[in-house]
Amino acid sequence: MTKDDTLSASARQLRDGDNDRFLTALFAPSERRAGLFALYAFNLELARVAELVSEPMMGLIRLQWWRERIGDIYDSEPPKGADLAQELSRMVRAHDLPRPLFDTMLDARELDLSPEPLASLDDFEAYGKSTSGALVSLALRTLGVTDETAHHAAQHLGIAWTLAGHLRAAAFHSRRNKQFLPMDYVTDEIAKDLRSGRSSPALQAAVQGLAERAEAHLNVARGLAGQIPKAALPALLLGPLTSAYLRRLRNMRYDLFSPRLELSKPRRQLLLAWSAGRGRY
């Protein structure tokens, strides 16, 4: 399944740009997998907008282009442009996906273009719910899961994944003179440490607080496991990866600049296989 000649363009894009979600999609039933690849590749396109533009206005134009393509899809018009838009059109029709979740993701991604980080952890959690949370909900629907409890778990998992992901990416962002962690945790002095690439007790304490908050959301999602249909599992397999990344961060004493924070691909594959085999997220 992972050979180039058997993968769609969106699957190849996802494999190279968001390997974690690519790996989770491989555990979905074959007839649902293409839909997840297209959905996750769309999310990757949105997530990359802020990295690829030199000015916020250019990013807003790119997001507007996608708004128009989503509008084409729901107006039953052939979407113009990218092959990915064609794939999205097919999956929206096949799985009856609701437009508001796409609109929520697009609106939230405008915040990536702001020169200032989000003011508070509450704002950051709302952002996580509107990006990764909405994406997990769309993935659940792609898998045919409409269960309300599963979608509640999706919101908490999305927040946990967003917090963990931004902690993992903080060193990368700091090298680009960017800072996305909430301002009520990152004071001016801590932001200076981030920009300089220097871990400090104050920065480590802030990272620990955010990591523990991510863990709390993950625990809420996992606490609902007994009430969620088995078909939901592939959409929720970011859970084991979130837990592993947070554990690695804890073992590194919350040092965002440790070269040992990342997990190797074989380790991630084994973790996902073990979790899927036991029906756990």
Q: In the predicted model, what is the mean pLDDT of the chain? A: 95
Reference 45, options 106, 95, 3; nearest CA is 106
Instruction: Dig out the tokens for 277 from the structure.
Output: 């085999």
Instruction: Dig out the tokens for 10 from the structure.
Output: 């969106």
Q: What is the pLDDT of residues 237-255, one digit of tens each?
A: 999 999 999 999 999 999 9
Complete domains list, the chain, with CATH: 9-277 (1.10.600.10)
How much is the average pLDDT of 39-65? 96
Q: What letter represents residue 199's amino acid?
A: S
| Three-state DSSP state, 271 | helix
Backbone angles phi, psi at 29, to 5 degrees: -55, 145
Q: Residue 1: what pLDDT? A: 46
Q: What is the pLDDT of residues 7-19, one digit of tens each?
A: 889 999 999 999 9
Q: Residue 278: what pLDDT? A: 97
Instruction: Dig out the tokens for 42 from the structure.
Output: 């769309």
Q: Are 185 and 206 in contact (CB under 8 A)?
A: yes
CA distance 151 to 161: 15
How much is the average pLDDT of 74-102? 92
Burial of 107 from C-beta contacts in 10 A (0-12 / 13-18 / 19+): middle
Confidence band of 4 (pLDDT split at 50, 70, 90): low
Q: Residue 103: what pLDDT? A: 98
Q: Are 39 and 141 in contact (CB under 8 A)?
A: no
pTM: 0.95
Q: Dihedral of CA 213/215/219/220: which sign?
A: positive
DSSP output for 193-214: HHHHT---HHHHHHHHHHHHHH
Q: Examine the pLDDT at 78 and tell me if it is beyond 60.
A: yes
| Three-state DSSP state, 231 | helix
Higher pLDDT, 149 or 179: 149
* Nearest-10 crossing angle of helices 201-223, 188-196: 100
Q: Examine the pLDDT at 2 and tell me if it is beyond 70.
A: no
Q: What is the pLDDT of residues 170-197, one digit of tens each?
A: 999 988 888 999 999 999 899 999 999 9
Confidence band of 3 (pLDDT split at 50, 70, 90): low
Q: What letter represents residue 237's amino acid?
A: L
Q: Residue 178: what pLDDT? A: 87
What share of residues in the chain are helix, strand, coil (percent, to 5)?
75, 0, 25
Reference 181, options 224, 128, 108; nearest CA is 128
Q: Are 238 and 153 in contact (CB under 8 A)?
A: no
Q: Are 160 and 221 in contact (CB under 8 A)?
A: yes
